[in-house]
Structure 1
Amino acid sequence: MFEKILIANRGEIACRVIRTAQRMGIKTVAVYSDADAASLHVEMADEAVHIGPAASAESYLVIEKIIAACKETGAQAVHPGFGFLSENASFVKALDEADIVFIGPPTNAIGAMGDKIESKHLAKQSNVSTVPGHMDLIEDAEEAVKISSDIGYPVMIKASAGGGGKGMRVAYNDEEAREGYRSAQNEARSSFGDDRIFIEKFIEEPRHIEIQVIGDKHGNIIHLGERECSIQRRHQKVIEEAPSPFLDEATRAAMGAEAVALGHAVNYHSAGTVEFIVDKDKNFYFLEMNTRIQVEHPVTELITGIDIVEWMIRVAAGEKLGLKQDEVKLEGWAVESRVYAEDPLRNFLPSIGRLVRYEAPESDEEYNGRPVIRVDTGVEEGSEISMFYDPMIAKLCTYGPDRLSAIESMRTALDSYYIRGINHNMGFLSAVMSQDRFVEGRLTTNYIAEEFPDGFLGLEATDEQTKILVSVAAVLQTNLSEQTALAAHLNGISGVDIPVELTVFVDRKAHPVLIDLQDDGYLVSGDGFETLVRGDWLAHEPVFFGEVNGKETVIQIDRRGPALKLTLSGLTVEALVMESRLAAYNELMPEKLPPDMSKFLLSPMPGLLVSVAVEEGQSVKAGEELAVIEAMKMENILRAEKDLVVSKISASAGESLVVDQVIIEFE
């Protein structure tokens, strides 16, 4: 077994590999760029080596620097994580020449499966069902349009070296094919240094289901069941689960057998994932094989009890697999939510900044000896989300005996996850977890587009949620008054005369309530409802853990002057609690309106202004492209929201932008 390994990655996957290596008694080496000098993976590792500037092309993607770090520290092997050099055959070859072990598959498998075009040819030769398409190289946008038209719309335009949703576009007509080819090629060139593009038929109403395989260097390959990855946005997975709520045993066995056969065809060893598109009739088609560990591997680990990272290390060291196929048992259900630094209310644009407050959910509860809540992250309070890398904050996983219990645990975990300093997508994740369609398992890769056709616009409070939030707000404000009075030694220990009449303004609507003590809690009586609230809460705590009418309830709290900002199941409201005799005065206060910025195109994020598509004096129609901004390796096209005339161009292509910087001014 290795004595020391280097992790050629950053963030949560680097931390994930370090944890397993430490448990195995293996020393670890982290590498880091200028932007990651204070990162958690650097703190966790036994040693750390600086490898260059923040840009990954000058640090994490430089093969010579990784090898030099191995030689400097005496690392015998390299785990690549995912992304960066994880599927780079030249990297594996360079490691071999330096007598350093690659903790991953052989070079030939990476070459055959990592290239989507070649892998499609190989799959066909191996009698694996594939999606109809054009697998040869495409010269330009006009050829892409012709091929797309011949295949028949809709089509998927993909980067050959792509992954993680980058370099992918769906086109429904010639114009979208032309634009999609250009954008996919630009993203592919920027992210992978390889701008080759191919096109295939886009199957409507599909599910994205993948099979986890693992093999050793002795010819043994098994699969560890499937993962449902259909909840996607811009082809980037958002929520995954294992097993799939759609597959039956026969389909699972057939897909597993096909995935294993494909692995044998390339003499595969280490962990890998064979991805399939599955239609409504359970017909499945080979999509691609990822020759690395996947972001969503924790859900497979939870339902199998197998540490995939551990077996990657053991296989690389020459050990045989410790399991046969019939010994793999799928027990319980696991769900994973990807927590991203992005703003769902602004079309999920990346959010960059420092985590000024960070508290991840915790639980001592277990099922089958495995945690009910698992958080894989590479950040801590004070960490910075950089514009140079992927915006993932964490992978939040829950596990239980069945799908409904895993979903319910996920709802509670999302409510408990407190992050401030940047925007995040947990409100959106909570919204999905609460939808009947999701709970029933009626999923497709079009789920988000179908359920949120106008984007995520936030949530409207139900009557029940309003009653809960009004009641808890009244109790929290009462607790605050008591704690303030106690600290000032005023009015004795209680500080507040109970019972008391209060008025709770939720988003400026008044809710009169009476609050009294009852059964070790507070009884809140309002218009047509009574709510019993129990729970201890101190003024400095950002989360209320308690019971409302006997049901476990978790609510996040932010104090905004005299008001309380409360978040429940992704819904955020502002509550102002006042003594009823003062409430009438509050209703007379004017509402402060935000300034009108409709005449400006503002940068929604920090990033690089790639291009400006209009000129001063030009008339533009709603939906037309105005500018393209690149951030976190993704191109974001900004479009006109209505018909406008350009008055002034305030920024130039190639310029680095800050949030809300003016790009274009309109008449």
Structure 2
Amino acid sequence: MPPRVRPFCLEESRLRPYVPAFDLSFCCCVRASSSKTRGNGPHGTAGPTSWGERMFSKILIANRGEIACRVIRTARRMGIRTVAVFSDADRDALHVAQADEAVHIGPPPAAQSYLLIDRIVAACKQTGAEAVHPGYGFLSERAAFPRALEAEGIVFIGPNPGAIDAMGDKIESKKFAAAAKVSTVPGNLDVIESIDEAVRISDGIGYPVMMKASAGGGGKGMRIAWNAQEVAEGFARAKSEAASSFGDDRMFIEKFIVNPRHIEIQLLGDKHGNVIYLGERECSIQRRNQKVIEEAPSPLLDEATRKAMGEQSVALAKAVGYDSAGTVEFVAGQDRSFFFLEMNTRLQVEHPVTELVTGIDLVEQMIRVAAGEKLSITQADVTLTGWAVESRVYAEDPYRNFLPSTGRLVRYVPPAEGEEDGVTVRNDTGVVEGAEISMFYDPMIAKLVTHAPTRIEAIDAQAKALDAFLIDGIQPNIPFLTALMQHPRWREGRLSTGFIAEEFPDGFTGLSPDEDTKRVLASAAIAMDLVRRERLDNLDGRLRPSSGKWRENWVVRLDREMVPVRVPEGFAAVPIEIDVAVGEGASPVTVTSDWRPGDPLWRGRIGRDEVVVQVRTATSGVLLSHAGVTLFARVMTPEIARLDALMPVKVPPDLSRFLLCPMPGLVVSIAVAEDQEVKAGEVLAVVEAMKMENVLRAERDGKVAKINAKPGDSLAVDAVILEFA
């Protein structure tokens, strides 16, 4: 068995000079030969290669962001030099800084840079890169890419193009699976050209249906429709998203299984006919078909179902001569029945959870397989140890229906990585503080992964790590992720792909604080305030009631609620140690912390509990965030609290007569004209941001008085698109 994956620590590798790895148990740092011979395996599978006994000395990563940084880390450990590619928008990106070399490939839009095969090939030739890792997305599942590389004597670190043709295309993969007698979801596997045809096919299948892009992934180009009208409205949007995201607008339709679970099997194959499965991942927590939380293993499966799904996946992979890391995705019923959905012929976004429960570095295995090595792991070697949970940290505002949030990362403080007391924290990221979150690419900022002996321990570790993940400048989805970790249904493993829609039907407005959360925030607030007061008073040592400056009774305002707090004794300043009683008649508990004014995180112990609270300055107080709850906090004397309660509440202005742009984005279309009467629910405009098209609808009946934007305009958040009379 290969060594277990170490927690990836960004701080160890950031901007570090290239240092060759001389541990020959990991790799042989010998330059790969450019001469190759390929056999004629099934479906174009590569046969044995003359370069199979030599490792690459330099590889190019045809991607950006966190996955490019992820590949660089493993390549560096293997003693392989790396080449990054970048667009104008990524000139100062982290993956560019971490790579040994970097090549500029074009303007920000992916269609003019990362999706251009000739630019990637030219970058390889310019730098002498012997192989290319595609990451995921972009060119990773386009068979033309490995064929173009092969024509230039460059190795593709991924499956052979024949396997990509057979399984990478979602329509063709379903046909192939059906012919191989693999259970598939009922649907129409032919490309659908028009809205009328889509409606007719959907009527025949029966609602609900799923419209999907043939070349899709990541939730792009997908829509669920519950009736013919939703098919008519959603088909064009999905088709347009597919064209802009993948350069391929082919669509197909299949039956949508109600209350399903999304489970996928990780595969690993080599060029010698060996294929194994590395257990499963459950990815049922999704929003708009985009995965939000993943875990391994699945709380649904038993060993018999896991084995059946794994063996079926291996059989399918062997039928197409699959020879790299890949994933077979299934829709599963609550009764553990399962149906083949598709095969992703690439590394998955959620691969870290598999790495942490198996101890196998998938990127390393992909590189070794591409170099012609046989798998050193057999199926009997694969064991699943503990539980791993991954949260996708997106630049999306959960309080505004998850609309994209772009801009500069004014503050970016991820939780510390490493292993302690059997719990591992890993953060795969592609940004640093000061980086710009662009509207041109996927909104993912990082993937936060925790591993622990049990599922609940992994979830609790994830919640604590999310509390310590501080991002300012843009609005991330961290409050929502933290709230999910507290959700009873999630913690019990009662999942489905409809989980978010069912549990948050009106969107996310934040959690209402329970008594325990209020106790935590009030305790942290009084502890911080006393440290500030001690600094302002310029006192040393221990404050005592007899000094005349000590006060036992306080009030902590949490938003509009006044919480009485009693501090019966004095305190030691920094680190602070204080007894605090929150609420009328409550018994005091000991609060300790080494927090100092200006620290963005308050870390401490309240009673027996270790607590992390995010701290942001606000007028006359602070904003405190913990366990998915953010509240304004102000510490006052009881006398001031009585006066504060009399202050009027500021009412926000009425902006209902304006259609405001909900996120920074590009205006795709304006669907109305000036002086036009509109009805509630009618489409007003479409705005694209981060490869997703967002339809803006009228909230009430009205008349359009003025239009302030036109297709092609780039708008800031809250820019006025149109005005109503």
Classify the TM-score, shorter chain.
Answer: over 0.9
Match of 1:386 in 2: 438
In the TM superposition, residue 497 of structure 1 has moved relative to its aligned partner by 3.1
Q: Is residue 471–residue 531 contact of structure 1 (8 Å, CA) maintained in 2?
A: no
Structure 2 distance, partners of 1:110, 1:625, is 38
The 1:364–1:95 alpha-carbon spacing in structure 2 relative to 1, beyond 3 Å, is closer
- Output aligned runs, 1:194-205, within 5 Å: 194-205=248-259
In the TM superposition, residue 621 of structure 1 has moved relative to its aligned partner by 2.5
In the TM superposition, residue 282 of structure 1 has moved relative to its aligned partner by 1.1
Q: Which moved more, 1:133-142 or 1:609-618?
A: 609-618
Match of 1:38 in 2: 92
In the TM superposition, residue 619 of structure 1 has moved relative to its aligned partner by 2.7
Structure 2 distance, partners of 1:176, 1:634, is 18
The 1:477–1:200 alpha-carbon spacing in structure 2 relative to 1, beyond 3 Å, is same
Match of 2:71 in 1: 17
Q: 2:521 aligns with which of 447, 455, 469?
A: 469
Match of 2:283 in 1: 229
Match of 1:286 in 2: 340
In the TM superposition, residue 591 of structure 1 has moved relative to its aligned partner by 2.3
The 1:130–1:317 alpha-carbon spacing in structure 2 relative to 1, beyond 3 Å, is same
Q: Is residue 556–residue 563 contact of structure 2 (8 Å, CA) maintained in 1?
A: yes
Q: Which moved more, 1:5-14 or 1:470-479?
A: 470-479
SS in 1 for 2:192: coil
1:444 aligns with 2:506: no
Q: Is residue 208–residue 444 contact of structure 1 (8 Å, CA) maintained in 2?
A: yes
Match of 1:635 in 2: 693
Structure 1 distance, partners of 2:283, 2:676, is 43
Structure 1 distance, partners of 2:83, 2:709, is 42
The 1:71–1:558 alpha-carbon spacing in structure 2 relative to 1, beyond 3 Å, is same
Q: Is residue 295–residue 389 contact of structure 2 (8 Å, CA) maintained in 1?
A: yes
1:459 aligns with 2:517: no
In the TM superposition, residue 28 of structure 1 has moved relative to its aligned partner by 0.6
Structure 2 distance, partners of 1:496, 1:333, is 54
Match of 1:269 in 2: 323
Unaligned runs of 5+ in 1: none
Q: Is residue 418–residue 426 contact of structure 2 (8 Å, CA) maintained in 1?
A: no
Q: Is residue 624–residue 630 contact of structure 2 (8 Å, CA) maintained in 1?
A: yes
In the TM superposition, residue 651 of structure 1 has moved relative to its aligned partner by 1.1
Q: Is residue 481–residue 496 contact of structure 1 (8 Å, CA) maintained in 2?
A: no
In the TM superposition, residue 496 of structure 1 has moved relative to its aligned partner by 8.8
- Output aligned runs, 1:388-427, within 5 Å: 388-427=440-479
1:522 aligns with 2:574: no
- Output aligned runs, 1:478-497, within 5 Å: 478-486=530-538, 494=543, 497=549
Structure 2 distance, partners of 1:245, 1:107, is 35
TM-score of the two chains, using structure 1 as the length reference: 0.97
Q: Is residue 141–residue 182 contact of structure 1 (8 Å, CA) maintained in 2?
A: yes
Q: Deviations over 1:373-432 (max 9, x none)?
A: 000000111111000101101000000001010001001000010111100111111111
Q: Is residue 552–residue 569 contact of structure 2 (8 Å, CA) maintained in 1?
A: no
Match of 2:42 in 1: none
Structure 2 distance, partners of 1:542, 1:21, is 34
Q: 1:153 aligns with which of 195, 203, 207?
A: 207
In the TM superposition, residue 665 of structure 1 has moved relative to its aligned partner by 0.8
Structure 2 distance, partners of 1:363, 1:112, is 39
Q: Deviations over 1:586-621 (max 9, x none)?
A: 233332222211111100111111111222233323
Match of 1:133 in 2: 187
Match of 2:132 in 1: 78
Q: 1:183 aligns with which of 223, 237, 252?
A: 237
Match of 1:652 in 2: 710
Q: Is residue 482–residue 496 contact of structure 1 (8 Å, CA) maintained in 2?
A: no
Residue identity in the other structure for 1:562:
S
- Output aligned runs, 1:77-96, within 5 Å: 77-96=131-150
Match of 2:552 in 1: 500
1:69 aligns with 2:126: no
Q: Percent identity?
A: 61
Residue identity in the other structure for 2:639:
R
In the TM superposition, residue 191 of structure 1 has moved relative to its aligned partner by 1.1
SS in 1 for 2:190: coil
Structure 2 distance, partners of 1:322, 1:124, is 32
Q: 1:304 aligns with which of 341, 349, 358?
A: 358
Match of 1:55 in 2: 109
Q: Which moved more, 1:274-283 or 1:457-466?
A: 457-466
Structure 2 distance, partners of 1:612, 1:528, is 60
Match of 1:247 in 2: 301
SS in 1 for 2:191: coil
Structure 2 distance, partners of 1:510, 1:662, is 38
The 1:45–1:33 alpha-carbon spacing in structure 2 relative to 1, beyond 3 Å, is same
Q: Deviations over 1:489-531 (max 9, x none)?
A: x687759933432221111322232224479721222313234
Structure 2 distance, partners of 1:220, 1:483, is 66
- Output aligned runs, 1:116-131, within 5 Å: 116-131=170-185
In the TM superposition, residue 363 of structure 1 has moved relative to its aligned partner by 4.5
Q: Is residue 524–residue 602 contact of structure 2 (8 Å, CA) maintained in 1?
A: no
In the TM superposition, residue 636 of structure 1 has moved relative to its aligned partner by 0.5
Residue identity in the other structure for 2:691:
K
In the TM superposition, residue 192 of structure 1 has moved relative to its aligned partner by 1.3
Structure 2 distance, partners of 1:87, 1:468, is 48
Structure 1 distance, partners of 2:349, 2:612, is 28
SS in 1 for 2:459: helix
The 1:320–1:478 alpha-carbon spacing in structure 2 relative to 1, beyond 3 Å, is same
Q: 2:163 aligns with which of 91, 99, 109?
A: 109
Structure 2 distance, partners of 1:149, 1:551, is 56
Q: Which moved more, 1:280-289 or 1:11-20?
A: 280-289
Q: Segments of 4+ in structure 1 off by > 6 A? A: none
In the TM superposition, residue 469 of structure 1 has moved relative to its aligned partner by 1.4
Residue identity in the other structure for 1:558:
R
Match of 1:8 in 2: 62
The alignment covers a number of residue pairs equal to: 662
Structure 2 distance, partners of 1:65, 1:594, is 51
Q: Deviations over 1:349-382 (max 9, x none)?
A: 00001111111111443477xx610000001111
Match of 2:374 in 1: 320
Q: Which moved more, 1:622-631 or 1:251-260?
A: 622-631
Q: Which moved more, 1:388-397 or 1:505-514?
A: 505-514
Structure 2 distance, partners of 1:660, 1:314, is 50
Structure 1 distance, partners of 2:483, 2:239, is 34
SS in 2 for 1:135: strand
1:605 aligns with 2:663: yes
In the TM superposition, residue 243 of structure 1 has moved relative to its aligned partner by 0.2
1:542 aligns with 2:600: yes
Residue identity in the other structure for 2:615:
I
SS in 1 for 2:643: helix
Q: Deviations over 1:70-126 (max 9, x none)?
A: 111111000000011111111111100010000000001111111111111100111
SS in 2 for 1:455: coil
Q: Is residue 367–residue 401 contact of structure 1 (8 Å, CA) maintained in 2?
A: no
Structure 2 distance, partners of 1:3, 1:341, is 36
Q: Is residue 6–residue 79 contact of structure 1 (8 Å, CA) maintained in 2?
A: yes
The 1:514–1:140 alpha-carbon spacing in structure 2 relative to 1, beyond 3 Å, is same
Structure 1 distance, partners of 2:406, 2:542, is 44
1:207 aligns with 2:261: yes
